[in-house]
Structure 1
Amino acid sequence: MKRYIFSLVITILIVFTTSFESFGQTKASFGGYVRDAKTEEPLIGASVIIEGTQLGAVTNIDGYYEIKNIEPQSYTVTASYVGYQKSSRFNVTVRSGGIPNVNFELSQDIEKLEGVTVRANPFIKNEETPLSIQKLSPEEIATYPGGNNDIAKVAQSLPGVSGSVGGFRNDIIIRGGAPNENVYYLDGIEIPNINHFSTQGSAGGPVGLLNVSFFEGVTLSSSAFASQYDNVLSGVLQFDQRDGNRREFRNNFRLSSSEAAITTEGPLFKKEDEERSNTSFIASVRRSYLQLLFQAIDLPFLPDYWDYQYKLSHKIDDYNELIFTGVGSIDDLTINAPDDFSPEQQAVLDQIPVIKQWSTTSGLSWKRRFKDNSGFMTTALSTNILNNQFEQFQDNVNQEGLVFSNNSQEQEIKLRYNYTKFLEDWTINSGFIVQEAIYTNSTDFAGDRRGFSYENNFNFTRYGANAQASRNFLNDRLGLSAGFRFDGNTFTESGNEIYKTFSPRASISYTLDEKRKWTINASAGRYYKIPPYTILGFANENGEFLNRDAEYIQSDHLVAGIEYLVTPSSRFSIEGFYKRYDNYPVSVIDSVSLANLGGGFSVLGNEEIESVGLGRTYGMEFLYQRKLTKDFYAILAYTLYRSEFTGFDKDEYLRSTWDNQNLITFTGGYKFGNNWELSARVRYLGRTPLAPVDQEATLRAYPSIVRDYSRQGDLLLDPFNQTDIRIDKKWNFDNWTFNIFFEVQNAFVQDLPSEPSFGLRRDDMGDIIQPRELVRIEDVSNSSLLPNLGVVIDF
């Protein structure tokens, strides 16, 4: 059957290719803005050229340029302006169906050397975050192999980032930290999670909910966090959405083996005599039909989801802009009883939860740029809601014999203000955040070992303030930054003792040579995170909150590294990092640090805890990155690390669930002629330590699986090793582009690790044999090759 599907996909690909190849290519165009990187002032008369051609343009009074009559393919585009460093955008794929604006932000050239052209470093950094920062371009996001347009999977290609091993998961694990140690921002608006069927109290889930067609770039900071980011311990992921087209209406349609999505954008209130509108929109909706595939191959669960995303931008004048943006999802994980009995299918059927979930985030932000170009301010008002209905039954098919039920909703209303001021050579950032947290929960442990139920609700205020100062010295060769923030809340017992969350941070960057090839970087900082609402809202059968004495989780970072620019488009870097944790929540019932949890589908933190755990992650990271030059691009990274946490015994560090020790990632591609592209992703992750199943306790609590956390790390899964390959082909016609892609996940059919599975002993008809006995399910092969065929149409 698998061979038949694979052959069918190949045949379809060949038919499409040969059919469209006879059509001729057409010309294309693109444009964008060139601005000052610091003040965002438009640069009038800046030159923009397509390298290797005679094509180019000069910006107008608005800083806008447009280049026409271009042969559709991939180019390097360079912008230059007198007194500024040149900047290049690599891998700009021009297509007749239209492309998003190619924008540039140029930095002033402080060091003026006669006869020497200074080119900006193409790998993003700044004084506040001079290291541990990575960025992916829109084209790298769109053609990511094995990602299936899933932004969470795309982020896993970045150095030091891995996902959970085993199971239907999409977690983001950064340098050995837990999945819920990261924060996510959409154009400055914080979103609590980026996945469908997200684990409440954590952030992971099986499928990403953000549309890749929206993004101008994705930036990851894995340390040296700027002071405006609160509640982060391991990583900040910033998703920069592009503005909708202000000149004409454009659409994007995407169809793959698991979903269909439509994106539309264009100007609003545009008059006939106007070249562009001051108001634009971009919106999308996506529908899964993964549930149809799962039902066809007789899997015991059916994931069904919708998601939507939108952005409305309005330019009030040259100095003021309003942005209204949002994202949401509707998720329904239902049970599908297989036609034929098998022990492994029955075990999944017994243990899978029934999930109905929806989430929404929306925000309005106002950005005001000062008329004297001395700074700007941003004010954002946003709200986000997660509604989670999670149930598990003795009989999931008929939903009888309730074992565990959690029906809860968490909502946040946030006001965030940031102020940036340029004082001669100094950049000063300051701001504050005030947010109202609203939480309701109804939990029934009917068949669980805890055996009680409770209902509660609360609302409280969280607040925080920050400040940071940065400056470059010695003709921009030395960069220094220092800042602090503090946070508090009105719920926990020590929440208003803000001195306990005072978090200083500092960074330094120094360029060793005049050609700016060698740079050393270092940072140190202390960061805090409030425990999840699932922890704060846990109560006993009398409705009394048991975790009001919970402390903010503390993490101290020390990072140092060196970077070498091999060429203007490639770099090599080495970083060493050390993270120390304090006040980590430890489960009272299981005596395990919650740092080891969050990689499953249950609710994280709905239990009594004590803030006594310690932890540490440390290691080295080696990176080689090459932007698209001579038709080839690549990211190769190796992270050698350890991740350890304690329970109640602070002297006993145990290997955490994320302590894989070795992480190798490679993502690269080659662009052939005639708009063909071949790309690949290779991931290797060392052995995964887990706590073995306590079989006696599991038999009593079945279908709940109980682990023996006193033996955390005794069970080691085999290393994870997977290669994904993708082929893209584009055809350009008059005003529209047709792109077909074919990708193969696990191309070399490698056996992927999975946890040991347990179920009740049953007869050939699937009936439970009495007396009940827990048995290990015979391991099944996880070496499937997964083909995926899709089309993308821009028009």
Structure 2
Amino acid sequence: MKRTTPFARLKMSYVILWMISLSMPLMAQQTQTIRGQIIDKANRQPLPGATVVVPGSTPPIGTTSSGDGWFKLTNISVGRVNLEINFLGYQPVVLKNLELTSGKELLLNIEMEESTQNVGEVTVKASKPKTSAINDMALISARSFTVEETEKYAGSRGDVARMASNFAGVSFANDSRNDIIIRGNSPQGLLWRLDDVDIPNPNHFAENGTTGGPVGMLNNNVLRNSDFFTGAFPAEYGNALSGVFDLRMRNGNNEQYEHLFQIGFNGFEGGSEGPISRAGKSSYLVNYRYSTLAVFDKIGFNMGTSGIPYYQDVTFKLHFPTRKGEVSMFGLGGKSSILMLDSKQADRDLYSNDGQDLDNRSKMGATGISYLHYLTPKTYAKVTLSALYQNGGTDIDTLDIQGHKTRTVTHDISEYRLSAAFTTGTKFSASLSSKAGISIDQMGYDMYTQTWDDDIHGLKERLNTGKPLGQGGYLLRSYAQFISKMGHNISITPGVNLLHHTLSHHTAIEPRLGASWQYAPSRKINVGYGMHAKTHPLSVYYLKTLMANGQAIETNKHLDFTKSHQMVAGHDWNINHHMRIKTEVYYQWLYDVPVETAPSYFSLINGGAHWGIEAEDSLVNRGTGNNYGLELTLEHFLNHGYYYLVTASLFESTYRGSDAVTRNTAFNGNYVVNLLGGKEFKLSPTQALSLDVKVTMAGGKRRIPIDEGRSRQTGETEYDESQAFETRHPDFFKTDFKISYKINKNNITQEWQLYFENLTDHKNVLNESYSQSKNQVVENYQLGFFPMMQYRITF
């Protein structure tokens, strides 16, 4: 069977993309419209009469916002554009280097903060730094990010998780998944939130209870600027230990119909948006995607592997403004499946494991509807109802040397959730605002797992339980938080979060506190503290153990939360409008971590080090852990056509299991350095070329050495657990490079992107395993040199 090489696949993609691109005469100059709404950041009320200008324009271009806060600028030349927004008594907002294309109007949501100074003292000054969090309550270990960054950063593949791996404090040394490891914590401690709804793992081929996967389901084409937190986050975020993705979907265009088609590594993709009622300013937004490799496989291209990833996903949002608020509805859903069959290969498969057949599948759906109502000019309330579903399943057959199959894993877990939440916010004055909320999650599930057991020489039941909605337990959450601005240079954000789990009958009360002191016009010191608690995956609570009398008992059902105290201190120096240096130091103490009753190295603190949930029965909350480190960020925002980002993290992450031995956690890589940069070249008023590069250096994954002697005896991979995580695989090194060409035509924008991942073809170790066919331990490597292409058209 003839194989296609990466270069052959690239050539094939190039021909297909070029054939479907449009050919139209170029216009000498293209223009587009900029529209948006301006609101008060604290109480969400529209701000009428705010001025919006394009600085330096000749003749001057500007307008003012209407009674409902909307503004419109027409006939603006495409390319990079700056905006200045001013409103009496509010801090000015300066938006720099916004990208304006001919194929799509630029719609903006602009939030302004009331100044705490007297009106007579207000002077025009630089706006809030671009990387400050959108959430006012987040004063440390938080930053906003733009959708453009998910595209521009080399190696991000349009995935918000891979994009965030460039930020300080985040480790990413595994190309096969987009797990986010923050400050040495398990990736299972991450919270995904979409439009104020906590959602399950938004990735294809995801396992219930995990937070990452090979392909992101969240489509960056439907997102707007969002927040990412790496520790000591505000009180409104509960049931999370390591970090938070607070993602927000944009509203569709409420005046013009716009469409998108895209083909690339992530899939064939189509999108549409437009007005439902122009008079009512209501809109829709929908996007659908289907696996590119699955399409190529269906039409007969040999991809060199039996493991063709089949997946598809859809995302939508409906938005309806009302006289005193708005109604929004969103949905996200997808399914995926893959067969990696070593038994079907005439020669070595590119991706399937030696001696193993694997069938993996997953589904996820989340939908929510919310109503935001302005109760008074200073207070708003929001009610949100949501429904969630997630399913994951895996069947694994082990092959002996003669090719005979033995089923070793049968696994299928489904989880359901109905949620209701109420949130209210009040701006008492320019210097004092509050936000509070309460929510309840009603859970249901069906879980079934069998794994091979050598003692009984057969499959042993590990999970076999199910509860309909209403009988699977409840998770109750509530919070209150404030922001107090003492003058124009000191801010304090006290808060508290309460978490109660009816399944385990445990409650956690979590105080939070943040403070910021701007001691000079461009410098400030930030500190933060938070207590954080998190539940465990349902499969952990319901794991069964077989007693001597033959009865199966759920020994983990009453586990307490895993908890942590987190302390952070940092310094921000905005050297000028487009450059800054940020440093942070942190310490985390984790406690009540589930460990085994008998002395062992095992701890749930290492959950997520491999695919799926690794749990044991008879766990107790006696484990501890420590994380501490130093982080540095040097950033030059896009200006004069170029940008760069340098992040460096030095950290230690240790834990103690039931054997009372202090060990490295599975995530203690010790260091991560990211170097990113890019340059835009304006070829003409309608054409631009961009070059982007990324270099990552990081400590290798911690490993449990394989006992080769025992592995030869049993014919399976056997580990020497006495040396768990003492050593690392070789350091991770990867260089990614991207070339983009964009052309603006009459109401159409086309873009070609050419990616080269792992440009130097560096051999990064993924893991080790014992190979029966080779009768030795072999190293399995991550993605080698991999070229990709993407084509996008908006019209």
TM-score (norm 2): 0.90
**Is the contact made by 1:164 and 1:170 (CA closer than 8 Å) also made in structure 2?**
no
- 1:282 equivalent among 274, 279, 285: 285
CA distance in 2 between counterparts of 1:172 and 1:707 reads 26
Quote the residue 1:488 is aligned against.
Answer: 500
Quote the residue 1:786 is aligned against.
Answer: 786
TM-aligned CA distance change 1:187 to 1:130, over 3 Å:
same
Q: How does 1:126-165 map to 2 (within 5 A)?
A: 128-165=137-174
CA distance in 2 between counterparts of 1:229 and 1:470 reads 16
| Amino acid in structure 2 at the alignment position of 1:668 | G
Q: State the 1:699 CA deviation.
A: 5.7
Is 1:234 paired with 2:239?
no
Aligned residues: 765
| Amino acid in structure 2 at the alignment position of 1:198 | A
Quote the residue 1:669 is aligned against.
Answer: 678
CA distance in 2 between counterparts of 1:350 and 1:520 reads 56
Q: State the 1:664 CA deviation.
A: 1.1
| Amino acid in structure 2 at the alignment position of 1:753 | V
Quote the residue 1:404 is aligned against.
Answer: 409
TM-aligned CA distance change 1:789 to 1:581, over 3 Å:
same
Q: State the 1:308 CA deviation.
A: 1.0
Q: State the 1:752 CA deviation.
A: 2.0
Quote the residue 1:187 is aligned against.
Answer: 195
Q: State the 1:284 CA deviation.
A: 1.0
- 1:740 equivalent among 739, 748, 752: 752
CA distance in 2 between counterparts of 1:160 and 1:729 reads 32
Q: State the 1:586 CA deviation.
A: 2.2
**Is the contact made by 1:534 and 1:606 (CA closer than 8 Å) also made in structure 2?**
no
The one-character-per-residue Cα deviations of 1:443-477 (angstroms, maximum 9, x if unpaired) are: 2224566852152124112212222222010x221
TM-aligned CA distance change 1:785 to 1:545, over 3 Å:
same
**Is the contact made by 2:254 and 2:277 (CA closer than 8 Å) also made in structure 1?**
no
The one-character-per-residue Cα deviations of 1:329-363 (angstroms, maximum 9, x if unpaired) are: 11111134587655676971534631121111111
Quote the residue 1:461 is aligned against.
Answer: 474
Please list every run of 5 or more consecutive structure 1 residues that lacks an aligned counterpart in the other structure.
763-773
TM-aligned CA distance change 1:748 to 1:343, over 3 Å:
closer
| Amino acid in structure 1 at the alignment position of 2:518 | T
Is 1:776 paired with 2:781?
no
Q: How does 1:348-367 map to 2 (within 5 A)?
A: 348-351=353-356, 353-367=358-372
TM-aligned CA distance change 1:602 to 1:46, over 3 Å:
closer
Q: State the 1:324 CA deviation.
A: 1.0
- 1:538 equivalent among 538, 543, 555: 543
CA distance in 2 between counterparts of 1:278 and 1:702 reads 66
| Amino acid in structure 2 at the alignment position of 1:179 | P
**Is the contact made by 2:161 and 2:179 (CA closer than 8 Å) also made in structure 1?**
yes
Secondary structure at the counterpart of residue 672 of structure 1:
strand
Q: State the 1:528 CA deviation.
A: 0.4
Quote the residue 1:769 is aligned against.
Answer: none
Quote the residue 2:700 is aligned against.
Answer: 687
**Is the contact made by 1:6 and 1:787 (CA closer than 8 Å) also made in structure 2?**
yes
Quote the residue 2:580 is aligned against.
Answer: 571
Q: Percent identity?
A: 21
Is 1:89 paired with 2:95?
yes
CA distance in 1 between counterparts of 2:782 and 2:499 reads 46
CA distance in 2 between counterparts of 1:120 and 1:350 reads 59
**Is the contact made by 1:361 and 1:384 (CA closer than 8 Å) also made in structure 2?**
yes
CA distance in 2 between counterparts of 1:18 and 1:184 reads 38
Q: Higher mean Cα deviation, 64-73 or 171-180?
A: 64-73
Secondary structure at the counterpart of residue 761 of structure 2:
coil
Secondary structure at the counterpart of residue 710 of structure 1:
helix
Q: Higher mean Cα deviation, 250-259 or 180-189?
A: 250-259
Quote the residue 2:34 is aligned against.
Answer: 30
Secondary structure at the counterpart of residue 301 of structure 1:
coil
TM-score (norm 1): 0.90
TM-aligned CA distance change 1:194 to 1:91, over 3 Å:
farther
Q: How does 1:185-224 map to 2 (within 5 A)?
A: 185-224=193-232
Q: State the 1:147 CA deviation.
A: 2.1
**Is the contact made by 2:85 and 2:92 (CA closer than 8 Å) also made in structure 1?**
yes
TM-aligned CA distance change 1:712 to 1:279, over 3 Å:
same
Quote the residue 1:767 is aligned against.
Answer: none
| Amino acid in structure 1 at the alignment position of 2:314 | Y
**Is the contact made by 1:300 and 1:338 (CA closer than 8 Å) also made in structure 2?**
no
Quote the residue 2:594 is aligned against.
Answer: 585
Quote the residue 1:306 is aligned against.
Answer: 312
- 1:42 equivalent among 31, 41, 46: 46
- 1:634 equivalent among 636, 639, 644: 644
Q: State the 1:80 CA deviation.
A: 1.5
The one-character-per-residue Cα deviations of 1:371-399 (angstroms, maximum 9, x if unpaired) are: 3x222122211121111221111249999
CA distance in 2 between counterparts of 1:614 and 1:596 reads 12
**Is the contact made by 2:362 and 2:393 (CA closer than 8 Å) also made in structure 1?**
yes
CA distance in 2 between counterparts of 1:783 and 1:403 reads 27
Structure with a larger share of its residues in strand: 2
**Is the contact made by 2:253 and 2:283 (CA closer than 8 Å) also made in structure 1?**
yes
CA distance in 2 between counterparts of 1:649 and 1:487 reads 30
TM-aligned CA distance change 1:783 to 1:182, over 3 Å:
closer
- 1:750 equivalent among 757, 762, 765: 762
CA distance in 2 between counterparts of 1:173 and 1:730 reads 34
**Is the contact made by 2:290 and 2:313 (CA closer than 8 Å) also made in structure 1?**
yes
**Is the contact made by 1:393 and 1:399 (CA closer than 8 Å) also made in structure 2?**
no
Secondary structure at the counterpart of residue 103 of structure 1:
strand
Quote the residue 1:109 is aligned against.
Answer: 115
Is 1:78 paired with 2:84?
yes
- 1:598 equivalent among 608, 611, 619: 608
Quote the residue 2:515 is aligned against.
Answer: 508
The one-character-per-residue Cα deviations of 1:278-330 (angstroms, maximum 9, x if unpaired) are: 3211111110032466872322422211111111111122x221111121111
CA distance in 1 between counterparts of 2:705 and 2:122 reads 66
TM-aligned CA distance change 1:134 to 1:364, over 3 Å:
same
Quote the residue 1:610 is aligned against.
Answer: 620
Q: State the 1:135 CA deviation.
A: 1.4
TM-aligned CA distance change 1:527 to 1:700, over 3 Å:
farther
Is 1:62 paired with 2:68?
yes
Q: State the 1:3 CA deviation.
A: 4.9
Secondary structure at the counterpart of residue 140 of structure 1:
helix
Quote the residue 2:441 is aligned against.
Answer: 435
| Amino acid in structure 2 at the alignment position of 1:202 | T
The two structures, once aligned, show a CA RMSD in angstroms of 2.8
TM-aligned CA distance change 1:209 to 1:346, over 3 Å:
closer
| Amino acid in structure 1 at the alignment position of 2:316 | Y
Q: State the 1:558 CA deviation.
A: 0.5
CA distance in 1 between counterparts of 2:777 and 2:95 reads 54
